[in-house]
Amino acid sequence: MPNATVALPQIESRTIKAIAIPTRDRSPMLPDLASADEQGLTDFEASICGAFFLPKGTPAAVVGKLHNAAVPAIESPSVRERLKDIGATVVVPERRSPEYLQTFVESEIEKWAAPIKAANITAE
């Protein structure tokens, strides 16, 4: 299950057939491709996200300084245009805080732990 950006050339050349975008909403890159949610797989989302991760114990002032530099960069027209070109969606402001990221990562670990264990998947 590649992300839309990687799969787009194969979808356009018809070497693979896309059956769903694994999110709640359709992708701007593939507006005609139904989402998993639309096809009945509700409350499912498997998407790629990017974030800055720092070592545990990094001083709050350092975290704040990085955050305060990153947010305006993300909002700049040139970065937003580039992200749009590659099919990336910029999250809404309320999902950009260090606190939100901590909660999100913890929830993703919890969400994916059971299927990984059930499939007996291990790191190589």
Q: Are 67 and 98 in contact (CB under 8 A)?
A: yes
Q: What is the DSSP letter of 34?
A: P
pLDDT reported for residue 83: 86
The angle, 0 to 180 degrees and rounded to 10, between the axes of the packed helices 60-75 and 77-85 is 80
pLDDT reported for residue 52: 93
pLDDT reported for residue 9: 86
Distances (CA, A) of 42 to 26, 46, 80, 119: 13, 12, 29, 21
Residue-by-residue pLDDT tens, the chain, 124 positions: 777 778 888 888 999 898 988 888 888 888 899 988 899 988 778 878 889 999 999 999 999 999 999 999 999 999 999 988 877 778 889 999 999 999 999 999 998 999 999 999 998 8
The angle, 0 to 180 degrees and rounded to 10, between the axes of the packed helices 60-75 and 98-118 is 90
Distances (CA, A) of 56 to 25, 60, 88: 33, 11, 28
**101 three-state secondary structure:** helix
The model scores a pTM over 0.85 = no
pLDDT reported for residue 27: 83
**Secondary structure (DSSP) of 53-82:** ---TT--HHHHHHHHHHHHHHHHSHHHHHH
The structural domains of the chain, ordered by start, are: 1-48 (3.40.190.10)
**27 three-state secondary structure:** strand
Compute the CA torsion angle 64, 65, 66, 68 (nearest 10 deg).
Answer: 80
